[in-house]
Amino acid sequence: MDEVGEVGRDEELDGSAEHVGSPAGVGPAADVGRWFATATSRPLDGPGPARGGPRLPAWGPMDGAPYGLRSHDDEIAEALALLRDRPVAVLTGAGMSTGSGLPDYRGRDAVPRTPMTYQEFMGHDLARRRYWARSTVGWEQFRRARPGRAHRLLAALDPSAFPVTSVITQNVDGLHAAAGSAPVIDLHGRLDRVRCQQCGALSSRIALHQRMLSMNPELAARLPELAADAAQAPDGDAEVDRTSSFRYPPCALCGGIVKPDVVFFGESARREVVAEAFAALADARALLVLGSSLTVQSGLRFVRAARRQDKPVVILNDGPTRADAEATLRVHGRLEDVLARWAAAVGAIP
């Protein structure tokens, strides 16, 4: 498998998309991970084996993992010194958006869930009904999510501490761009867009949301009630999960299946996007990883590419990562705390 080729089941929505809390004055955002969770362990087509690809195991906090560690002040300062004044490519995961109220798959507070695969979404009408019903209920909450302190601090560090060749994010929430980081490479796409799987046409998720509300007036009338029910039933037993009568539209241009413009488990990232991310890494002299467990190949390959290029790798995460042994420096702690210390050290507090 070459670096810009197919990654198959190693791809992930990390967003995407390692989250807790919400910005001041805003209620908790929708649990986007649940939109992409398999609603039932039973076959979607009745008796017999499920079609459309194998189910993935449930994701959740790592058993026995050491969460809550904090690196010594000297280690935090050493990491900044290593990155200081050199072009840095930044790779981010779901931990960046916990402060914006977007729950994750692998953090210590994550609710275990079995991810929906691309094959399941494309192969089962009922899976698509469940996905679109969930996301319709949660969309207005998700749209209210705003950049958290970690997003703002990272934007302020460029170029005060180091110039950023690009923020390569596995998240799908658009919050890096909203915080002022640029350029941003959305490795796994964006939830505010939808793409036809037949003709490739892109369109707005906001417009699709309004159309689905008009097609499902009973759900639209109960939106607040269903949103509250979904928030209280994170194990996939919310009433909306049983809305098998939910209607969703085909592509207006060709009649094909419309899918959120994000990478599902079992799906490949777009080749041109991956190539752009590797180009950003090539232009850098170091790689900084923020808030990703690097569980899947989608993010891990950038760490390994940086090491092959003899570029230092700094990993900052609360909890273990798959690349801990490959990091030049491994920093433990909450992103907001460590980034704030770096920003204070260079006079870049936003």
Closest Cα to residue 87, out of 285, 225, 235, 263? 285
Annotated active-site residue in 124, 188, 209, 332:
188
Is 188 an active-site residue? yes
3-state helix, strand, coil in the chain (%, to 5): 40, 15, 45
CA separation for the pair 160, 342 (Å, rounded)? 10
What confidence score (pLDDT) does residue 64 get?
58
Q: Which domains does the chain have, with CATH numbers?
A: 13-345 (3.40.50.1220)
What confidence score (pLDDT) does residue 40 get?
52
Identify the residue whose tokens are 């990272």. 154
CA separation for the pair 282, 118 (Å, rounded)? 30
CA separation for the pair 159, 164 (Å, rounded)? 7
CA separation for the pair 301, 170 (Å, rounded)? 13
**DSSP label at residue 167:** E
What confidence score (pLDDT) does residue 114 get?
76
Extract the runs of DSSP E, i.e. beta strands, from the chain: 88-92, 164-169, 184-186, 189-196, 202-204, 258-262, 286-290, 313-317, 329-332
Task: Name the CA dihedral angle for 50, 51, 56, 58, rounded to a multiple of 10 degrees.
Answer: -40
Q: Tell me the per-residue pLDDT of 109-154, one tens digit each, with 9 for 90 and over.
A: 555 667 889 999 999 999 999 899 989 998 988 888 999 999 999 9
Contacts of the segment 305-312: beta carbons below 8 A, 24+ positions apart: 305/3, 305/278, 305/281, 306/89, 306/281, 309/281, 309/282, 311/281, 311/284, 311/285, 311/286, 311/287, 312/82, 312/83, 312/286, 312/287
Q: Tell me the per-residue pLDDT of 320-341, one tens digit each, with 9 for 90 and over.
A: 999 999 999 999 999 999 999 9
CA-to-CA separations, 289 to 20, 91, 133, 334, in angstroms, rounded? 19, 5, 34, 13
Query: Which residues of the chain carry a pLDDT beneath 50?
Result: 1-26, 41-54, 58-59
| Strand, coil or helix: 341 | helix
Are 5 and 159 within 8 A, CB to CB? no
112 — phi, psi (to 5°)?
A: -55, 135
CA separation for the pair 273, 135 (Å, rounded)? 25
pTM of the model: 0.84
**Axis-axis angle for helices 149-160, 335-345 (nearest 10):** 30
What confidence score (pLDDT) does residue 226 get?
86
What confidence score (pLDDT) does residue 191 get?
95
Sign of CA pseudo-dihedral 206, 211, 214, 218? negative
Are 191 and 264 within 8 A, CB to CB? no
